[in-house]
Amino acid sequence: MTVLKQPVCQRVAIGGDHAGFPMKEMVCEQLSHLDLTVIDCGAHDDSPSDFPDFAEAVGQELISGRAERGILVCGSGVGVSVAANKIPGIRASLCHDTYSAHQGVEHDDMNVLCIGARVIGPAVAFEIVEAFLSARFSPQERHQRRVDKILEIEKKALNGGYQRPPQPN
């Protein structure tokens, strides 16, 4: 069993659908060994469930300030990433390697890690979670400038600055 290093944050929200449930449980077990508050947003079993519900629940924990970082797990990681990024203030990314997990925090101030339980195994998942939770945003001018641009895009979208694309028939 790999034991994770102590993360830089104190409160982590985690959630995942039925496909992510077994891996979510394994990650929760790993995190339970740390001096950290883990907020389990479900699923609580492997019965069929919908990933957007858990992406929203984890996002709400971050937006409310009850959690500082979030972890989402579904089959591929793609669905939870798409859903989480619809929530203003959430910067979620699908990461299946440690470099992306820490670089996403350091350069892009990523606050939600998304992983695919059907894509990677537990050992790799633990390493990715450790890289994500151990990283800090590096507010170098170029990184902050880019995050500020992301926030401007979000603000524009919230104020109706974008039109919906045509929906397929």
Residue numbers annotated as active site: 74, 107
74 closest CA partner among 14, 141, 33, 148:
14
| Cβ density class 102-131: b for 16+ within 10 Å, e for less | bbbbbbbbbbbbbbbbeebebeebbbbbbb
